[in-house]
Amino acid sequence: MRRPAITDSFKYLKLFKHMPITDCSAYEIRQKITAGELSAPEIAAAYIRKITAANQRFNIFVHFEPEEIMNRARRASHGPLHGIPLAVKDNLCVRGEPTTCASRILSGFRPPYNSTVIDRLEQAGALLLGKTNMDEFAFGSSCETSCYGPTANPWDRRCAPGGSSGGSAAAVAARFCPLALGSDTGGSIRQPASFCGVTGFKPTYGRISRYGLIAFASSLDQIGPFARDVRDTALLMNAMCGYDPADSTCAQQPVPDYLSGLDKDIRGLRIGIPREYFPPQLDPEVNALVRAALAVLEQQGVELIDIRLPHTEYAVAVYYIIAPSEASSNLARFDGVQYGLRAAAHGVSGQSLLDMYEQTRAQGFGCEAKRRIILGTYALSSGYYDAYYLKALKVRSLISRDFEQAFAHCDCIATPTSPTTAFRLGERLNDPLAMYLSDVFTISANLAGLPALSLPCGFSRALPAGLQLLGKPFAEELLLRIGHHYQQQTSWHTQSPPEA
């Protein structure tokens, strides 16, 4: 698929009058707009200039139309996110905008409707900048399986930004936007947040409507935010959360004001430290950074206690049965009949419908997508369903029970987000097992449906590392509060990549 062109936008530079707006957080932009110091078109012009000048170096945006951005800025609603730029992962439907999941098989697809989260954010006044790169259909941990080519990590262009939401994480890190949306099926928000040195949040399964998210694994997928810091994350969460009757899995739970809860006291809270997440194979420098972050929280009055999550060792195996099984079912709809790619007959007379299906899917899906479809179809096939898929569901229940028992003794759980910092582009692309193990610390939260937050906690060899906080179902407010207190005492989240 041809990479979408980024058209010239310098005619809008006359609007760019202030110091670099792109250095501001979302909360700071909101304050400036409220004070009358900035307008939505001025903000849009600043980000158009930034993205136009630098996107080619990183390959972050795969769909970006300056004219449409300026039109959106002029008509933006005057809500709590008025004029604040937002990047959107390419698997979320935006009415009339290309939505391809970074796959050839969806080339040319423009949804006739918005995702629920897009509707809510537009109503809040957010300024949609465009679509960010991702691993094809969210199958990957490095943003390298995209039909648009890989995205580079803004901290080191030789390294991966993580995946599958690597484009959104890189967009926030590169200062292309203060806010971005991703989806997290096994760590696809938190792992790239860790690799790119930004804040990434996977809410509880059901907290945010998935309507309009092109599904990978329906029992695991969750939409969530990327931001510079926890305060910006809370600002975005306030606009995104809430029940949606269009999504049968969306929970009818009250939504707190996440911003107002950030400064509540954290003294006396108990944070569980699971030994299973600190194995000998953990990078020693990452281990030291996470331990130092825990010491900061301890100084704020929290108590650290040792806990056990004994079935953690089975999480990767369970995930790579359940997720591909659900993916093989969800991707069966992409067949060239109603939308997206339809393969030509290549001169074959009397091409049958089956021929068209086979050629379309062979040409449209990349190698990793095909691998996962095959894995999932095998696990669900007659004679193997009980041995693989059903057994995986039973172990998934044991993993959830581990967390329930742990939370009887602690308020949240702290772990590294990833066992390493960002690896080199191409380093794991031909080694699926090594790639899959990149998510070893993040997968369990999806299997159990728990909220999980990744926070920048330092640098190892000039690359960011992440601290992960996991909470009880619908305990987003508590995780954000703890994360905010941590960021009030540290400055890792304020650091910018050299090229940003």
Nearest residue to 141 (alpha-carbon basis) of 419, 415, 428 = 428
User: Distance of CA 500 to CAs 153, 154, 173, 277, 497, Å?
Assistant: 11, 7, 7, 32, 5
Question: Quick one: DSSP state of residue 499?
Answer: T
Residue 14 has pLDDT above 50, yes or no: no
CB 83 within 8 A of CB 125: yes
Per-residue pLDDT of 50-61, as tens digits, reads 999 999 999 999
- The partner residues of 92 in beta bridges, in order of sequence, read 213
Distance of CA 200 to the CA centre of its chain: 7
Residue of 146, 188, 209, 444 marked active site: 188
Residue 18 has pLDDT above 50, yes or no: no
In 132-175, which residue ranges form alpha helices assigned H by DSSP?
Answer: 166-173
Indicate the pTM of the whole model: 0.94
Q: Can you tell me the distance from the alpha carbon of 118 to that of 76, in angstroms, rounded to the nearest whole number?
A: 13
Nearest residue to 265 (alpha-carbon basis) of 227, 297, 292, 237 = 297
More confident residue, 348 or 73: 73
Q: What is the helix, strand, coil percentage profile of the chain, to 5?
A: 40, 15, 45
Residue type present at position 184? D
| 3-class state of residue 349 by DSSP | coil
Give the mean model confidence (pLDDT) for residues 375-398. Answer: 95
Residue 110's domain is classified under what CATH number?
Answer: 3.90.1300.10
Question: What residues have CB less than 8 Å from 391, skipping those under 6 apart?
Answer: none
Q: What is the pLDDT of residue 308?
A: 97
CB 483 within 8 A of CB 230: yes
Question: Quick one: DSSP state of residue 36?
Answer: T
CA atoms within 13 A on the CB side of 303: 9
Give the mean model confidence (pLDDT) for residues 95-102. Answer: 97
User: Distance of CA 112 to CAs 62, 96, 119, 158, Å?
Assistant: 19, 6, 13, 38
Give the mean model confidence (pLDDT) for residues 250-269. Answer: 97
Residue 187 has pLDDT above 90, yes or no: yes
Give the mean model confidence (pLDDT) for residues 304-320. Answer: 97
Phi, psi of 437 (to 5 degrees): -70, -10
| 3-class state of residue 277 by DSSP | helix
| 3-class state of residue 375 by DSSP | helix
Residue of 32, 50, 89, 131 marked active site: 89
Residue of 164, 328, 438, 454 marked active site: 164
Q: What is the pLDDT of residue 19?
A: 55
Residue type present at position 111? P
Active-site residue flag, 188: yes
Residue 109 has pLDDT above 50, yes or no: yes
Tokens of 75: 């008509």
265-296 per-residue burial string, b: 16 or more CB within 10 A, e: under 16: ebeebebbbbebbbeeebbebbbebbbebbeb
Give the mean model confidence (pLDDT) for residues 299-325. Answer: 97
Q: What is the pLDDT of residue 6?
A: 44
Phi, psi of 455 (to 5 degrees): -125, 140
Q: Residue 425 is part of which domain span?
A: 1-500
Tokens of 17: 């009058």
Q: What is the pLDDT of residue 339?
A: 84
Element (H, E) at 464: strand 463-471
Phi, psi of 342 (to 5 degrees): -130, 120
Per-residue pLDDT of 281-307, as tens digits, reads 999 999 999 999 999 999 999 999 999
The structural domain count of the chain equals 1
